[in-house]
């Protein structure tokens, strides 16, 4: 005897014998664009396509074209596609920071996925926060979900050299300040880094987070890196559409895939990629929404993972070359072969990740290095704590030889350095005063910024990678140590101390720091302390605690409810709303 087919979520709306009146109401308006009642009542899975592309979200705009291939795949597999827009998130353009939008897009997606007749969803992702917002929502609602990345732009070229999005700005602005470049040349070089549709082509936050979706098992193999304009992008869109229908039939849900082991795989993969420092708050946020947690110890355990991806800002190449060399799967294969990955984790394909990775390309030794001959020995984030904060991270894969030579090679105390703090209260304060001769900034200073965290900014700003004053740049000192309670762009090549939690406005120790204090950083022991007497620190009045007025209702709500970056900057209490499987909202 054949088993009766399990009832679909959408049938509670469209095919509910107990509520003939409501069923009519739920159905009728879908007719007005040509869908037939028979389709919606045929027991075929109804698949949402969360469309994140728009004119206002140019990094994701390629999804407007990908959508038709997703629809084809859904139809060919026997499902019915229903597309809907998500809140736009455009990292480079959104003021005061796109970080505000991650939780807002998350809220919107949760309400849509929970409140409408969807049996599964294709989550289109690309620009930085579009990926974590989508996966956070997938965990909260826990209906079958699959990520379709939009893919990076093609590699950018300028005067015969690769120029990567974001990274080119940080590098060129140093040349501009040193007087080695004109403003027009600056603009030309920057524009050449964006040669096609797609998201950032460096291993910035966008490529890192799409790689994290693949590493977690939430997208089909290869999905993270196929450049947006390649024909394979349309092809994987089609296969993603087909696959989500099968996932609904198999009831394969985010909670089956995003396990603690999968998150640890993602953390290790992030290290080997030289991934964005924003992966830390985003993965922590995603883990919390999945009912799990990533701790400082989990991040520290990945510190010794070697750098395998030779991609800017830690290396030389860009996303297109990285894809051609084998992409995320090749990196993960090396980790698996060297026992730094759990091969048992399930993916959206329904296979264990070890089975998938057996098909991945071996490292080419150039763009993708082998575990035994890496680009650098330790590429994980260094986790720091001390009297200025409980938690902060430092991206060590971008430490230049010049920087190591200057700060980390004292034969008496290797890996330990002291620097004189120059404290800025905001990015405006930094811009106004960085070239002020009265600050007497030299190579033994550390630039500190506060008021840039989730509450202070609000949203937490990418401002910590402050560049040295012009006179130092002209003398060849291209970076100083920096520290702050904000973030930095994933495309930045600065070994800054970031994401300091708690932030200054939340009573963090950074608020007690003064210009002229000595800060001691011990890389080996993971400490960062102001060399100031405890008693004196306690008696100081706090600085950096001014909070600019909220401009919008959301800014205020965000501030009132956001957690610190150590805990992902999520909305307090949101993880408690994890849906028990198959819970349906009450009728309309
Ligand atoms: Fe959108 Fe980098 S600005 S991906
Ligand atoms: Mg950014």
**Residue to probe by mutation, ligand 1, list 89, 130, 156, 206, most atoms within 8 Å of CB:** 206
- Nearest ligand to residue 461 Cα: 2
Two tokens at 9?
A: 């979520």
- Indicate which residue's Cα is closest to atom 2 of ligand 1: 200
Identify which has the larger pLDDT, 414 or 297.
297
Mean pLDDT of 173-188: 91
Question: Which helix (H) or strand (E) is 210 found in, with range?
Answer: helix 205-216
Q: Are 220 and 236 in contact (CB under 8 A)?
A: yes
Query: C-alpha 61: how far from its chain's center?
Result: 18
Instruction: Provide the pLDDT confidence category of residue 579 given band limits of 50, 70 and 90.
Output: confident
Identify which has the larger pLDDT, 583 or 571.
571
CA 418 vs CA 72, 185, 512, 522: distances in Å: 60, 37, 18, 9
Instruction: Provide the pLDDT confidence category of residue 130 given band limits of 50, 70 and 90.
Output: very high
Angle (deg, nearest 10), helices 260-273 and 327-337:
110
What does the pLDDT look like over 316-366, one tens digit per residue?
999 999 999 999 999 999 999 999 999 999 999 999 999 999 999 999 999
Residues 6+ apart with CB under 8 A from 272: 305, 306, 307, 308, 309, 331, 334, 335, 340, 379
pTM for this prediction: 0.97
| Strand locations in 480-535 (E) | 482-484, 497-501, 518-522, 527-530
Q: Which residues line ligand 1 (CB under 6 A)?
A: 59, 91-92, 127-128, 165, 199-200, 204, 206
Two tokens at 183?
A: 């403003």
Strand, coil or helix: 461: coil
Distance (angstroms) between ligand 1 centre and the Cα of 176 equals: 23
Rounded to whole angstroms, the maximal C-alpha distance in the chain is 86
The phi and psi torsions of 317 (rounded to 5 degrees) equal -90, 180
- Nearest ligand to residue 149 Cα: 1
Residues 6+ apart with CB under 8 A from 29: none
Question: Which helix (H) or strand (E) is 194 found in, with range?
Answer: none
Mean pLDDT of 221-239: 98
Distance (angstroms) between ligand 1 centre and the Cα of 255 equals: 28
What does the pLDDT look like over 372-388, one tens digit per residue?
999 999 999 999 999 99
Distance (angstroms) between ligand 2 centre and the Cα of 408 equals: 28
The CA distance from 318 to 167, in Å, is 11
5 pLDDT exceeds 80? no
Nearest to 510 by CA among 475, 479, 484: 484
Nearest to 150 by CA among 193, 98, 89: 89
Distance (angstroms) between ligand 1 centre and the Cα of 203 equals: 11
Given this model, what pLDDT does residue 2 score? 57
**Residue to probe by mutation, ligand 1, list 124, 127, 210, 211, most atoms within 8 Å of CB:** 127
What does the pLDDT look like over 39-96, one tens digit per residue?
999 999 999 999 999 999 999 999 999 999 999 999 999 999 999 999 999 999 999 9
- Indicate which residue's Cα is closest to atom 1 of ligand 1: 127
Nearest to 567 by CA among 300, 292, 379, 271: 292
Given this model, what pLDDT does residue 543 score? 82
582 pLDDT exceeds 90? no
- Nearest ligand to residue 98 Cα: 2
Given this model, what pLDDT does residue 544 score? 76
Given this model, what pLDDT does residue 152 score? 98
Mean pLDDT for the chain overall? 95
The phi and psi torsions of 523 (rounded to 5 degrees) equal -65, -40
Q: Are 162 and 134 in contact (CB under 8 A)?
A: no
**CA 165 to ligand 1: nearest atom:** 2
Strand, coil or helix: 216: helix
Looking at this predicted complex, what is its ipTM? 0.94
The CA distance from 297 to 483, in Å, is 21
Instruction: Provide the pLDDT confidence category of residue 398 given band limits of 50, 70 and 90.
Output: confident
Mean pLDDT of 284-300: 97
**CA 128 to ligand 1: nearest atom:** 4
Distance (angstroms) between ligand 1 centre and the Cα of 313 equals: 14
580 pLDDT exceeds 90? no
The CA distance from 386 to 8, in Å, is 52
Distance (angstroms) between ligand 2 centre and the Cα of 150 equals: 17
């Amino acid at each position: 005897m054949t088993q009766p087919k399990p009832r679909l979520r959408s049938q509670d709306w469209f095919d509910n014998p107990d509520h003939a009146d409501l069923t009519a109401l739920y159905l009728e308006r879908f007719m007005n664009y040509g869908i037939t009642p028979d389709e919606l009542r045929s027991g075929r899975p109804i698949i949402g396509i969360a469309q994140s592309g728009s004119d206002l979200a140019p990094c994701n705009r390629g999804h407007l074209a990908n959508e038709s291939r997703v629809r084809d795949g859904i139809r060919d597999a026997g499902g019915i596609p229903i597309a809907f827009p998500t809140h736009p998130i455009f990292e480079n353009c959104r003021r005061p920071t796109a970080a505000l939008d991650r939780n807002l897009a998350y809220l919107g997606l949760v309400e849509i996925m929970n409140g409408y007749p969807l049996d599964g969803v294709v989550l289109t992702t690309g620009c930085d926060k579009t990926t974590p917002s989508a996966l956070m929502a997938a965990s909260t609602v826990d209906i079958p979900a699959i990520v379709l990345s939009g893919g990076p732009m093609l590699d950018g070229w300028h005067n015969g050299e690769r120029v990567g999005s974001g990274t080119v700005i940080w590098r060129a602005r140093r040349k501009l300040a040193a007087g080695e470049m004109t403003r027009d040349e600056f603009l030309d070089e920057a524009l050449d880094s964006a040669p096609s549709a797609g998201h950032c082509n460096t291993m910035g936050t966008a490529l890192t987070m799409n790689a994290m979706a693949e590493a977690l098992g939430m997208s089909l193999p290869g999905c993270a890196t196929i450049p947006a304009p390649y024909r394979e992008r349309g092809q994987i869109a089609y296969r993603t559409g087909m696959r989500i229908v099968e996932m609904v039939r198999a009831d394969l849900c985010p909670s089956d895939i995003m396990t603690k082991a999968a998150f640890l795989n993602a953390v290790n993969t992030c290290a080997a990629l030289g991934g964005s420092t924003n992966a830390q708050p985003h993965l922590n946020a995603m883990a919390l929404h999945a009912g799990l947690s990533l701790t400082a110890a989990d991040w520290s355990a990945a510190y010794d993972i070697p750098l395998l991806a030779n991609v800017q800002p830690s290396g030389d190449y860009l996303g297109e070359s990285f894809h051609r060399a084998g992409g995320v799967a090749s990196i993960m294969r090396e980790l698996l072969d060297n026992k730094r990955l759990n091969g048992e984790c399930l993916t959206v394909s329904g296979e264990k990740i070890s089975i998938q990775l057996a098909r991945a390309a071996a490292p080419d030794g150039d763009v993708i290095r082998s575990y035994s001959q890496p680009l650098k020995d330790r590429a994980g984030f260094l986790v720091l704590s001390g009297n200025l904060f409980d938690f902060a991270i430092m991206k060590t894969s971008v430490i230049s030889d010049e920087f190591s030579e200057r700060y980390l090679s004292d034969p008496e105390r290797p890996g330990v350095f002291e620097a004189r703090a120059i404290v800025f209260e905001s990015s405006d304060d930094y811009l106004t005063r960085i070239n002020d001769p009265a600050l007497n900034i030299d190579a033994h200073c550390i630039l500190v910024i506060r008021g840039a965290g989730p509450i202070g900014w609000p949203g937490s700003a990418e401002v910590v990678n402050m560049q040295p004053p012009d006179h130092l740049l002209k003398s060849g000192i291209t970076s100083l140590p920096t520290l702050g309670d904000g973030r930095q762009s994933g495309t930045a090549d600065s070994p800054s101390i970031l994401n300091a939690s708690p932030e200054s406005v939340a009573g963090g120790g950074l608020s007690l720091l003064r210009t002229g204090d000595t800060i001691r950083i011990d890389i080996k022991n993971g400490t960062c302390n102001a060399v100031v007497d405890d008693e004196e620190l306690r008696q100081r009045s706090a600085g950096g605690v001014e909070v600019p007025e909220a401009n919008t209702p959301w800014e205020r709500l965000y501030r009132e409810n956001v957690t610190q970056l150590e805990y992902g900057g999520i909305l307090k209490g949101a993880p408690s709303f994890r849906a028990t499987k198959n819970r349906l909202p009450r009728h309309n």
